[in-house]
Amino acid sequence: MSVSVTDDAAVRHILIDRPDRMNAVDKDALHRLADAIESAGADPDVRTIVLSGTGRAFCAGGDLDVEDPLSVENTASTSDAATRCISAIVAVPRPVLAAVRGPAVGVGVSLALAADFTVVRSDAFFSMPFTSIGLMPDGGATALVAASVGRAVAMRMSLLGERLSATDAARMGLVAAVHEPDVFEAELAKLTARLSRISIESLALTKLAVNDSSLTELGDAFARERAGQIRLTTTDSFRDAIAAFTAKRTRPETGERTGSDHVGS
Ligand SMILES: C/C=C/C(=O)SCCNC(=O)CCNC(=O)[C@H](O)C(C)(C)COP(=O)(O)OP(=O)(O)OC[C@H]1O[C@@H](n2cnc3c(N)ncnc32)[C@H](O)[C@@H]1OP(=O)(O)O
């Protein structure tokens, strides 16, 4: 099972639960996440949703170890699953907190930024190494990142796959704040407690209004990314990247198996 759900009073914890693969997600996991988010939104006893990962990563992005990563069918259905999952986070009538510990990579960045609060531990980093494996960002990332940091940093992250540390992510406005490990859980609990004291209806309408006016490009982004990703699936670059990943070989372009550089701070 790659997604687990637990309740702590009125807080629904949804966990990406595949620590041996750094919580990489395939299409089934994305659908399970979407199911869990939609079901939390329909439960009157749930006031806030916390999305996080088990172990030392938030989410290492799309699963590169699936049966047929080079098939157009896999790309299309994974892209549809990511669209469904990100749309569920944006539309669910409850505040969603992404608790980001460790890496948020690829679609992991979209999961973190689609949330209403991205609560970040100081060991977190954000990276979109899509172009280094011959793909393009998906999961709405082309809209979500630009909506958070502006075009200049969005281009560095999207085109170069540059990695943003937690501190740089906060400094550049990708996330609101970073917390040291010793206070991270307490800060998370403080935020869920504050939200629990506010009217659910008021939070729901406010969240949906903010998202409707700030994420106006999201629907178009999903469609553009899906078409682009399908086209890129059949390229030599992607085939080479998957071969390198499977063989645990570093690639000269990146010096890593897939890889990303740090954004200079
Ligand atoms: C359609 C696709 C959309 C996308 O999202 S494209 C982006 C896909 N994601 C990536 O390219 C990221 C790949 N992963 C990494 O770069 C690194 O991992 C991390 C930076 C996240 C963490 O690095 P470290 O702490 O050194 O861990 P580790 O030894 O690389 O990973 C532990 C195990 O997890 C597996 N794993 C990591 N990411 C993925 C993935 N995305 N898909 C499948 N498996 C993954 C590895 O292979 C390894 O496994 P083993 O222990 O057998 O060597």
Minimum CA distance residue for ligand 1 atom 20: 103
Tokens 């954000």 locate to 126
Q: Find the helix or strand (DSSP H, E) in which 245 lies.
A: helix 236-246
Ligand 1 center–CA 22 separation, angstroms? 6
83 lines ligand 1 (CB under 6 A): no
Cα–Cα distance measured from residue 27 to residue 24, given in angstroms and rounded to the nearest whole number: 10
Amino acid at 196: S
Q: Is the pLDDT of residue 261 over 60?
A: no
**Å from CA of 60 to ligand 1 middle:** 5
Residue by residue, DSSP assigns 113-156 as HHSSEEEEETT-EEE-TTGGGT----TTHHHHHHHHH-HHHHHH
CA of 36 to the centre of ligand 1 (A): 24
User: Considering only CA atoms, which residue is closest to atom 53 of ligand 1?
Assistant: 248
Mean pLDDT for the stretch of residues 9-30: 97
Mean pLDDT of 153-174: 95
Let me know: does 56 contact 20? Beta carbons within 8 Å. no
- The pLDDT of residue 130 is 97
Q: In this predicted model, what pLDDT tens digit does every residue of 211-250 receive, in sequence order?
A: 999 999 999 999 999 999 999 999 999 999 999 999 988 7
When pLDDT is cut at 50, 70 and 90, the band that residue 264 belongs to is very low
What's the pLDDT band for 265 if we cut at 50, 70, 90? very low
**Which ligand 1 atom is at minimum distance from the Cα of 245?**
47
Q: Quote the pTM value.
A: 0.95
Please check the confidence at residue 256 and state whether its pLDDT lies above 80. no
Q: Residue 61 C-alpha to ligand 1 middle, in angstroms?
A: 8
Residue 260, pLDDT above cutoff 70: no
What the block records as the tokens of 191 is: 């935020």
Please give the ipTM for the structure prediction. 0.97
Q: Is 61 a pocket residue for ligand 1 (Cβ < 6 Å)?
A: yes
Q: Is residue 82 within 8 Å of residue 143, measured between CB atoms?
A: no
Q: Residue whose CA is closest, atom 34 of ligand 1?
A: 21
What is the chain's mean pLDDT, rounded? 94
pLDDT at 248: 85
Mutational test site, ligand 1, from 72, 105, 231, 232, max ligand atoms within 8 Å of CB = 105
> How many angstroms is it from 17 CA to the middle of ligand 1?
14
CA of 258 to the centre of ligand 1 (A): 8
